[in-house]
Amino acid sequence: MKGAIAVWWIGAGRAETPLLDGVRGALETEYRLPVRLHVATDRPVDAWDPRRGQHASARILSWLSGRAPVGSRRILGVTDADLFIPILTFVFGEAELHGRAAVVSTARLAAHEGMPPDPELLAVRLAKECVHEVGHTFGLIHCRAPGCAMARSASLRDVDAKTGRLCAECRERCEDALSEEARHHEPQEHAHPDRR
Amino acid sequence: MSRKNTRILIVDDEEIVRESLGGWLEKDGYTLGSAPDGMSALKAVEEGDWSILVVDLKMPGIDGLEVLKRVKEKHPEIALVIMTAFATVDTAVRAMKLGAYDYIVKPFDPEELSLMIQKIVGQQALVRENLILRKALKREHRFHDIVSKSPLMRDVLELSKTAARSPSTILILGESGTGKEILARAIHMESPRADKPFVAVSCAALTETLLESELFGYEKGAFTGAAGRREGKFEAASGGTLFLDEIGDISPKLQLDLLRVLEERRVTRVGGTESVPVDVRIIAATNRDLAKAVEEGKFRQDLYYRLNVIAIRLPRLTERREDIPLLVDHFLEHLGVEMSRDVEGISAEAMALLMAHDWPGNVRELRNVLERGLVVTKTPVIQATDLGLVPGASGSSDKPASLSEVEKRHIAAVLHHSGGNVSQAARILDIDRVTLYNKIRKYHLRDVEEHEAVAETEKN
């Protein structure tokens, strides 16, 4: 099986290596694929929506989709920007279902009910949400199995209630998707700048 | 009810809203559609089977409140949620008065939206569950409960509906498990006798004398143990329908007795001297070849002609394989409720196995196989191994399936797996969409084609 998952810090602040290493570890464990940290200075500046004071996650996904590094099958952007989709007040992250790009934000994951931010808790939550959004790119939809990483996260309570692991059924579906990709000769091995 | 079966229509003139809300809900596994204005929403509601409508209040032309009003008039079971960019109390009150489930202000809090949709789906599931249990209890079956898209069954149902409205005797022919009694009950419910009793008698289950007293009743002292007068099934069905199952199995004496009743429309109770008039519509059924039995002298020709006024032949399940995916969904939903087991569906491998099986026990056997699957499965999706069917060992193998038959079954299974999504099915089958459409047309898998055409229109 060819093609890694590329993880790219696209936030305004400094990249925190331990945080991204945690994401890498979680993705490697869950998807059994090589995960590479990608470093580049460009940022999706057009995603900023001054009216909402937030970043549009769909615009980030299109931006990411055309910038996957050569040799990667998926591109996951990690950002500190607060994300939204037009119909919702915020999202923790978003992904293209059956697509190649996903984005997760740390902006709302650090909150700790009046307590000072807890970096360890943030790392755990971020890893869970990254496994979740990358799962969507493999065609996984929200799952009702207790604890599965693909459970819908509409609040921090939901994020904390689930594990960062896929349930047996989601794992099997994901493996099917990976074998399907392997059969189709890795169509996403190279970046397609003209896409979207 | 699986999430795939919950169909949500988003109605908003802003494409970005339709896309983002649709994308968000799609990841919960619901089937989504969208309409850009009130008029196309009303059209979609007439053409599709929607569970929930999420409608924008302000739209050019027909606005959200008007959509709400018109949809609720015709489809009170659909839950409508009104969304708007501004919260105004009077509009909210008007929406709720018109029957909206709820009122939500854009942009929504993700948790609020998620909980609201879950609540609606939960309530609708309860209503459906109630309906299923009530039907199971009353054994009420109507034509729309008969699940089929096969042309053979369409002809059967059309003939049955026409026959239902006439007073004529009906003879239902078909192998065991093809659903003869269910069809008879549906005919009864469609007939002018629907509010009167439907009485079913299995003629093969009783001895000649027992069947005689069961059908015609008896007078006090007619035989040892006849302590009082008892009316028979003919009288019990008075004004309604008498369903005589396994009619091919009755003795020559009873054949003659029955012929008399059919001719005279009067019954004489066993041990009685007076005959009483009966007003019943007879529906007889058999899995035997009655014409052959007549030729062999085992069944009275005059009775055969009396019964064979309108003959309806129910096809074997193997003659309507395209119905297997529909029947699977239907049974899993009903069995799930009856057995309090919730599964999301069956795997593609399991479906392929069901499509390939020979089904000597027909629809009843399919139901039993699924019941077994539901009991033994340990995963949310029933696996092939849960069904207890051995691949390849499918009953009568006197004639192996043709290549096109296998192709048809496989396409039907893949389309079911993709939830009717032709593009996805084409990807799995590794053929282009046009080729798949041609094959759908060729094999008369037409409902899927129409479903997809609607979905395509909704996307545009």
Length reported for chain B: 460
The count of domains in chain B is 3
3-state secondary structure of A157: helix
Residues B243 and B340 in one domain: no
Q: B3 pLDDT band (50/70/90 cuts)?
A: low
Any CB–CB contact under 8 A between B29 and chain A?
Answer: yes
Check residue B459 and give its pLDDT.
39
Check residue A185 and give its pLDDT.
55
Q: Which domain, by its residues, includes B370? A: 319-459
Closest CA to B395 of B420, B361, B349: B361
Q: Which of A133, A169, A172, A181 is catalytic?
A: A133
Residues B78 and B208 in one domain: no
A123-154 pLDDT, tens per residue? 999 999 999 999 999 999 999 888 999 999 98
Residues B428 and B301 in one domain: no
Distances (CA, A) of B162 to B144, B157, B166, B188, B408: 15, 9, 7, 12, 31
Under 8 Å between Cβ of B11 and B135: no
Chain B residues within 8 A of A169 when measuring between CB atoms: 379-381
Check residue B435 and give its pLDDT.
83
Which residue in chain B is spatially nearest to A92 when comparing CA positions? B110
CA distance B112 to chain A (A): 8
Which residue in chain A is spatially nearest to B23 when comparing CA positions? A97
A→B contacts (Cβ < 8 Å), by residue, are 58, 84-91, 97, 136, 141-142, 144-145, 152, 154-155, 158, 168-169, 180
Q: What is the pTM of this model?
A: 0.61
Residues B308 and B323 in one domain: no
Contact B107 A141 (CB under 8 A): no
Among residues B137, B160, B189, the one where a domain terminates is B137
State the ipTM, two decimals: 0.77
Q: B18 pLDDT band (50/70/90 cuts)?
A: very high
Distances (CA, A) of A30 to A135, A136, A166, B76: 9, 13, 7, 45
A21-42 pLDDT, tens per residue? 999 999 999 999 999 999 999 9
Under 8 Å between Cβ of A95 and A137: yes
Among residues B122, B137, B152, the one where a domain terminates is B137
User: DSSP states of A50-65 as a string?
Assistant: TTTTEEEHHHHHHHHH
Check residue B452 and give its pLDDT.
45
Residue B455 has pLDDT above 60, yes or no: no
Residue A89 is given by DSSP the state S
Q: B450 pLDDT band (50/70/90 cuts)?
A: very low
CA distance A156 to chain B (A): 10
CATH number at residue B451: 1.10.8.60
Residues B185 and B290 in one domain: yes
* Catalytic residue flag (residue A169): no
Check residue A45 and give its pLDDT.
92
Residue B302 has pLDDT above 60, yes or no: yes
Among residues 107-126 of chain B, which lie with CB inside 8 Å of chain A? 107-111, 113-115
Alpha-carbon distance of B192 to A12, in angstroms, equals 75
Residue B263, CB-side half-sphere exposure with 13 Å CA sphere: 10
Residue spans of alpha helices (H) in chain A: 17-31, 57-65, 119-137, 156-161, 168-183
Q: Is the bond preceding B151 in cis, omega lying within 30 degrees of 0?
A: no
Beta strands in B235-340 (DSSP E): 241-245, 266-268, 275-277, 281-286, 310-313
Any CB–CB contact under 8 A between B423 and chain A?
Answer: no
CATH number at residue B167: 3.40.50.300
Residues B176 and B299 in one domain: yes
Alpha-carbon distance of A55 to A47, in angstroms, equals 5
Contact B113 A154 (CB under 8 A): yes
Q: Which two tokens stand for residue B339?
A: 């057995």
Under 8 Å between Cβ of B155 and B294: no
Residues B309 and B439 in one domain: no
CA distance B427 to chain A (A): 10
B101-142 pLDDT, tens per residue? 998 888 888 888 888 999 999 898 888 888 878 777 766 678
Residues B129 and B186 in one domain: no
Check residue A194 and give its pLDDT.
37
Alpha-carbon distance of B146 to B130, in angstroms, equals 19
Contact B26 A97 (CB under 8 A): yes
Residues B342 and B279 in one domain: no
Domains and CATH numbers, chain A: 4-183 (3.40.390.10)
User: Between vectors from CA B31 to CA B126 and to CA B95, what angle results, nearest 5°?
Assistant: 65
Check residue B20 and give its pLDDT.
87
Count CB pairs under 8 A between chains A and B: 61
Any CB–CB contact under 8 A between B143 and chain A?
Answer: no
Residues B176 and B249 in one domain: yes
Under 8 Å between Cβ of B45 and B78: yes
Check residue B441 and give its pLDDT.
80
Substitution target from A51, A59, A60, A87 for chain B, most B beta carbons within 10 A: A87
Residues B285 and B150 in one domain: yes
Q: Summarize the confidence of residues B365-387 as an average pLDDT.
A: 91
Among residues B137, B163, B196, the one where a domain terminates is B137
* Candidate from B20, B26, B115 with C-beta closest to A87: B20
Residues B311 and B182 in one domain: yes
Least-confidence region, from B29-43, B210-224, B393-407, B420-434 = B393-407
* Candidate from A89, A142, A145 with C-beta closest to B109: A89
Under 8 Å between Cβ of B45 and B77: no
**Region of A71 on the Ramachandran plot (φ > 0 left; ψ -120 to 50 alpha; else beta):** left
B385-410 pLDDT, tens per residue? 999 886 554 444 456 667 777 788 88
CATH number at residue B24: 3.40.50.2300
* Candidate from A88, A158, A168 with C-beta closest to B24: A88
Alpha-carbon distance of A182 to A174, in angstroms, equals 12
Chain B residues within 8 A of A91 when measuring between CB atoms: 110
* Phi–psi pair at B307, nearest 5 degrees: -80, -35
**Which residue has better confidence, B422 or B201?**
B201
**Which residue has better confidence, B443 or B170?**
B170
Q: Which two tokens stand for residue B238?
A: 């008075």
Which residue in chain B is spatially nearest to A146 when comparing CA positions? B380
Q: B447 pLDDT band (50/70/90 cuts)?
A: low
